[in-house]
């Protein structure tokens, strides 16, 4: 006989998360621990946030790092590696949860790459303001870029060279792969 798993309410999750030293994802009553990343994962995430901060300085859009939780209308609460919002941040939960990202960036890990490409991307697409999605590989040079166009259609392009530049249409800025992978070494 299988034991029923406890389901949590959104409010229970938020209360637990506020007291937790680790980050957790929440969806459909379930709480999932978010695993720590490799050194490359951390370096790439930092490079992304730093590049976005420099490019957006003095502009109406602002980046956030993986400390900021986002919530989708479909009910997912999670911590992407980087996000960008434009204009005023729309926040809930005592200024802790961002509701209006325009760019979401995930650094891929072996254990999350399938989820980030499929179910998580599907859930992110329920955010009306969301337009650009980057999946940055942490094991080799490679970025998958999805851009929302009209009628909820998404265009895909892959970048594989350090000399490649990705134009993020939602924020009118480009990121160089060489910026994202600065001082990252693959074995």
Express each pLDDT in 107-129 by its tens digit.
999 888 999 999 999 999 999 99
The fold adopted by the segment(s) 37-180 is tt1808, chain A (3.90.1570)
Q: How many CA atoms lie within 13 A of 187 on its CB side?
A: 3
DSSP state, residue 129 = T
Contact 175, 48 (CB under 8 A): yes
Contacts of 178 (CB under 8 A, 6+ apart): 162, 163
- Tell whether the model's pLDDT for residue 162 goes beyond 80: yes
**Residue ranges per domain, the chain?**
37-180
pLDDT in tens, 32-63: 887 767 899 999 999 999 999 999 999 999 99
pLDDT in tens, 1-14: 455 578 888 888 88
- Cα first-last separation, the chain: 46
Across the chain, mean pLDDT equals: 92
pLDDT, residue 1, reads 45
Contact 81, 143 (CB under 8 A): no
pLDDT in tens, 65-104: 999 999 999 999 999 999 999 999 999 867 789 999 999 9
The overall pTM is greater than 0.85: yes
């Amino acid at each position: 006989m299988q034991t029923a798993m406890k389901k949590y309410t959104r409010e229970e999750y938020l209360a637990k998360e506020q007291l937790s030293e680790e980050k957790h994802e929440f969806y459909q009553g379930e709480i999932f621990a978010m695993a720590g990343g490799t050194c490359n994962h951390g370096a790439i995430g930092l490079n992304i946030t730093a590049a976005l901060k420099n490019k957006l300085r003095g502009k109406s859009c602002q980046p956030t790092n993986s400390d900021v939780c986002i919530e989708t209308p479909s009910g997912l609460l999670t911590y992407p590696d980087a996000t960008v919002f434009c204009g005023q941040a729309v926040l809930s939960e005592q200024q802790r949860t961002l509701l209006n990202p325009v760019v979401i960036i995930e650094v891929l890990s072996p254990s999350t790459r399938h989820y980030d490409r499929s179910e998580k991307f599907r859930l992110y697409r329920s955010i009306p303001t969301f337009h650009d999605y980057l999946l940055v590989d942490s094991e080799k040079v490679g970025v998958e870029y999805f851009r929302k166009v009209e009628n909820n259609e998404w265009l895909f392009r892959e970048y594989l060279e350090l000399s490649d530049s990705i134009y993020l249409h939602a924020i009118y800025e480009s990121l160089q792969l060489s910026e994202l992978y600065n001082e990252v070494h693959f074995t």
